[in-house]
Structure 1
Amino acid sequence: MKILVTGAVGFIGSHVAERLNSLGHDVIGLDNFNDYYSLELKHLNAKVLEEKGISIIKKDLRDEDLAECLPNDIQYIFHFAAQPGISQTSTFEDYFSNNIIATKNLIDFGLSCDDLKLFVNVGTSSIYGIEATFPEDIAPKPASHYGVTKLAAEQLVLQKSREQLMQACSLRLYSVIGPRERPEKMYTKLIALGLQNKPFPLFEGSDKHLRSFTYVGDIVDGVVSVIGNETKVNSEIINLGTEVEHTTKEGIEAVEKVLGKTIELNVIPKRPGDQSRTKANIDKARKLLNYNPKTTLLEAVQKQVEWYKANFSN
């Protein structure tokens, strides 16, 4: 199968591209290599993919000439590219253009493909709102520009499925952790600062937040399992994540255990729009995809520490 992965040099997109390649698919990666976070990490991910024979196209989905840069015989699209997370440095225009306009352009490209079997939109638990513990049919209440624009992008994709113009689904991911996690995210930052003996900035009250910290390999299992299940997943929203909850404090303690040291905490003001609880309800994923994440938090942290030390620790 010829498969397009957008956001291919990012955290989760790179893992999915790598897995699809290992399964024998012809994978084309697309990424705009923006400087929202470390280009060093993006180029490191790109090198890993290119060494496996995955071609990477540097292109912004917001560009009008998208179709001129891609072959029209793409059979699957996995859409990871987005303005990520809840960041006070990102403007509404950043979220709007990267999450809505870019997705609309990619949909238009998908509609022009000769044999597109499935458009897979990658959503987020932030769509649900401050608490994300619900099944997929609950009314979403996003509490951030990120969540609002990701919901809009999701609905743009599913609209085409409802119109029977293409088969499509949306996967809502929960608190993904593991190797290649972005440098501003909790675990990479904890590991980096812990190794440097520097304090970790902890948002006030967030130590009590509950999260479905899900190992990226378990997420990838669910993502790639849609292949061959196009009819089952068409028009569906599906949660992917672990049902096991941990507090942020427990996450910090897991990193301390693996590093063998205590990490100093520097409490800073709360972050607006941050979720207080995420717990993946994966009943639908189990039913449709036989989804069953198994990696423990400690195992995930161990793998992430090993990756970080191998690539960034002097």
Structure 2
Amino acid sequence: MKYLVTGAAGFIGSAVVEKLVATGHEIVGIDNINDYYDTALKYARLKRIGHKNFRLVELDIADRESIRQLFESESFDRVIHLAAQAGVRYSIENPHAYADSNLVGYLNILEGCRNTKVQHLVYASSSSIYGLNNKTPFATSDSVDHPVSLYAATKKSNELMAHSYSHLYDIPTTGLRFFTVYGSWGRPDMAPFIFTRKILDGETIDINNNGDMWRDFTHIDDVVEGVVRIADVIPNRDESWTAESGTPATSSAPYAVYNIGHGSPINLMGFVKAIEDELGIEAKKNFRDMQPGDVYQTYADVEDLFEATGYKPKVGVKEGVAEFIRWYRDFYNK
């Protein structure tokens, strides 16, 4: 297969590319290598791939004409769309960046898929779209109409936009709601990275909601396995489906949505303890209130993903934290 992977220099994107090229696929990656976080880490991820079946095109998905030309010249079989402006808190500070990338850029990808008859579009959604939901575990059959950040709202919009294109143009689309992904080559703006760096440097870490938070931490290896497997599960039309009786995660159109999480959330303090134990250092802690855009708990129901792919996450928190810290110490000479 010939794949387009957007966000190819990103945390999840680079890992997906690495998995796909290892199994013999041809990959074109695109990334604008923006400075939302350290670009040296992004280039290091790309260097790690270093495979003859992979090439990077450096461009912004919000560049409509360049995206159109790329799709027309390459004839992709499948698209895995992972490029986005990430981060809940940054969406409060710089909302327009999210409109440019997550709405305009996403529309450009949909248009590219429509005009070149792509076999399957797999795209990144987020667990953040569950917003104010209290029922756990979060299931794709749940309503997700009350996001608490603009980032989450853009991801909800992506699912709605995908459905309209699946309905109108018969494009098979699959959305993946990622749950707190962590592991080697991870993002510096996320808690595992921040906690590890600050503990090693003797700095104080901030503990939101006084430690009373739960997260469904999901290791990158499990996420990648889920993404690659779901790319082979192309949704079909279901003429018997109705909005009144069907789940929001399926449709009469060739459309599907899945959670990708570990399915076993742990308390934030338990995660901090796992890092402390692996480093052999007790963290200096600053307990503070819940921050804007945060949610109390994430917890993924992954049964439908297992039914579709036969895969359930395998990497536990203790093992995953140890793997991440080994990478961190090696990469940063710590």
Compute the TM-score of the two structures, normalised by the length of structure 2.
Answer: 0.89
Counterpart AA for 2:124: V
Q: In the TM superposition, what whole-angstrom CA distance separates every residue of 1:103-149 from its partner, at most 9, and x where no partner exists?
A: 001111111225x2100111000111144732112110211100001
CA contact (8 A) 1:5 1:17 kept: yes
Q: Please point out which of 166, 189, 211 is paired with 2:171.
A: 166
Contact map agreement 2:79 2:121 (CA 8 A) in 1: yes
* Residue of structure 1 equivalent to 2:50: 50
Residue type at the aligned position of 2:166: S
2:325 aligns to what SS in structure 1? helix
Deviates more, 1:67-76 or 1:6-15: 67-76
Q: Which runs of 5+ in 2 are unaligned?
A: 237-249
Q: Which of 291, 294, 304 is the equivalent residue of 1:274?
A: 294
SS at match of 2:138: coil
TM-fit CA distance, 1:269: 4.6
Instruction: Flag the 1:31–1:90 CA change in 2: closer, same or farther, 3 A.
Output: farther
- In the alignment, does 2:189 pair up with 1:187? no
Partner residue, 1:256:
276
- Corresponding residue of 2:148: 143
Q: Deviations over 1:279-314 (max 9, x none)?
A: 101121111111211110011101100111111124
String of CA shifts for 1:210-252, please: whole Å, max 9, x gaps. Answer: 1110111101111111233213684011111111110110000
Name the structure 1 match of 2:27: 27
In 2, Cα distance between equivalents of 1:134 and 1:268: 26
Matched, 1:201 2:217: no
Deviations 1:67-93 (A, max 9, x none): 223533101111111111212464221
| AA matched with 1:150 | K
Opposite residue 78 of structure 2, the aligned amino acid is: Y
Aligned residue runs from structure 1 range 295-314, under 5 A: 295-314=315-334
Question: What is the distance in 1 between the residues matched to 2:6 and 2:57?
Answer: 9
Q: Is 1:213 paired with 2:217?
A: yes
Q: Which amino acid aligns with 2:31?
A: D
Is the Cα–Cα contact under 8 Å of residues 96 and 149 in structure 1 kept in the other structure? Answer: yes
Map of 2:233 onto structure 1: 229
Measured in 2, the distance between the counterparts of 1:247 and 1:142 equals 22
Q: What are the ranges of 5 or more consecutive residues in structure 1 without an aligned counterpart?
A: none
Contact kept, 8 Å, 2:89 with 2:292, in 1: the verdict is no
Structure 2: how far apart are the matches of 1:51 and 1:261? 38
CA distance in 2 between partners of 1:113 and 1:72 (Å) = 9
What is residue 246 of structure 1 aligned with on the other side?
A: 266
Give the match for residue 161 of structure 2: 156
Instruction: Give the Cα–Cα distance (whole angstroms) in 1 for the partners of residues 112 and 187 of structure 2.
Output: 28
Alpha-carbon contact 2:21-2:51 (below 8 Å) kept: no
Q: Which moved more, 1:188-197 or 1:32-41?
A: 188-197
Contact 1:72/1:113, CA 8 A, preserved across alignment: no
Query: Would you say 1:125 and 2:145 are equivalent positions?
Result: no
Task: Out of 177-186 and 81-90, give the one that drifted further.
Answer: 81-90
Letter in 1 for 2:200: L
**Contact kept? 2:68, 2:108, Cα under 8 Å:** no
Q: Counterpart of 2:155 in structure 1: which amino acid?
A: K
Identity of aligned residues (%): 28
Corresponding residue of 1:107? 110
Q: Separation in 2 of the partners of 1:213 and 1:227?
A: 22
Is the CA contact 1:173–1:240 (under 8 Å) kept in the aligned structure 2?
A: yes
